[in-house]
Amino acid sequence: MNYERIELERDGPVARVWLNRPEVRNAFDGLMVTELRKCLFELKDDDEVRVIVLGGRGVAFCAGADLQWMKAMASAGHDENLREAQALADLFFTVYESPKPIVCRVHGAALGGGAGLVAASDIPVASFGTQFGFTEVRLGILPAVISPYVLRKIGESAARELFLTGERFEAVKAQEIGLVRAAVPIEDLDGAVYGRVQELLKSGPKAMAEAKALIREVAFQRVEDLQRYTVEAIAEIRVSPEGQEGMRAFLEKRKPGWAL
């Protein structure tokens, strides 16, 4: 499938998805939102692909929503505004619930919705000097649809400071508050991403998808309400072909079938 706003590179079990609108620092408009979502759906059903890397072409990862596009929404009616906002919310949810792990390769800038993509991904790795920020309030708008993902990563304390000031901050602080998992020199960024991908390729594909579902389910429920779910999850996966192969491989002192 050909895309205008993104680029998809396949490399065996790894799919690299590039935001590809460098002239506006990969700011996303309606077309990019649609294409990115379509692409993630395509990858979801592709058994060959086991890990997704999300990055940005040009000097920055993503400058968030296209402000021309957002501004133009003043001439649309409330229903159309709701539809566009829903499409945006659906994109972040698609990233968040992707059964294939998403490693985010972050450089240059990740602002507004760009920081939202980082928050919705599984393992974001950033280069030193990357500008992060929830700049929306400085533009008189809100980090609304990204807030559930950001809050889950950075918590209320940091969100109160950063959502209210809209100030920009650097990769080291992004790591300190839990928005990214690692901050490295730019020349080491691809190596750090590669390292994460290699670790993920050691994991059972189905087990990773189930582990993501487990995190989503377990994070915000009472322990006693979770017993049935967690008991069923382990009871099912340990007798599944993948679970059996993983445990057998360990006991036989060999790599499991999926390991490269």
CA angle 69, 4, 79 (to 5 degrees): 35
Residue 11: closest CA among 234, 257, 190: 190
Q: Is 26 in the site for ligand COA (CB under 6 A)?
A: no
Token digits for 80?
Answer: 């159309």
Q: Which is it for the CA torsion 132, 217, 19, 55, positive or negative?
A: positive
Q: Could you say which of 16, 21, 25, 107 contacts ligand COA (CB under 6 A)?
A: 25
- Per CB under 6 A, the segment of 61-69, 91-99, 176-184, 247-255 that binds ligand COA is 61-69
Active-site residue, from 136, 187, 236, 245: 136
| Closest distance to ligand COA from the beta carbon of 184 (Å) | 20
Nearest residue to ligand COA, using CB?
A: 112
Q: Is 146 in the site for ligand COA (CB under 6 A)?
A: no
Q: Which is it for the CA torsion 129, 19, 158, 96, positive or negative?
A: negative
| Closest distance to ligand COA from the beta carbon of 150 (Å) | 13
Backbone angles phi, psi at 259, to 5 degrees: -70, 140
Q: Could you say which of 136, 146, 163, 258 contacts ligand COA (CB under 6 A)?
A: 136
Please say which residue, 25 or 212, places its beta carbon nearer to ligand COA: 25
Q: Is 214 in the site for ligand COA (CB under 6 A)?
A: no
| Catalytic (active site) residue 187 | no
> What is the C-alpha separation between 207 and 135, in angstroms, rounded?
37
Q: x-or-dash pattern for ligand COA, window 93-112, by CB under 6 A?
A: ----------------x-xx
> What is the C-alpha separation between 56 and 105, in angstroms, rounded?
8
| Closest distance to ligand COA from the beta carbon of 73 (Å) | 12
Please say which residue, 149 or 258, places its beta carbon nearer to ligand COA: 149
Kindly report the number of other CB atoms within 10 A of residue 23's CB atom. Answer: 8
Residue 76: closest CA among 84, 68, 88, 66: 84
Please say which residue, 86 or 230, places its beta carbon nearer to ligand COA: 86
> What is the C-alpha separation between 147 and 153, in angstroms, rounded?
10
Q: Is 66 in the site for ligand COA (CB under 6 A)?
A: yes
Point out the residues that are catalytic.
136
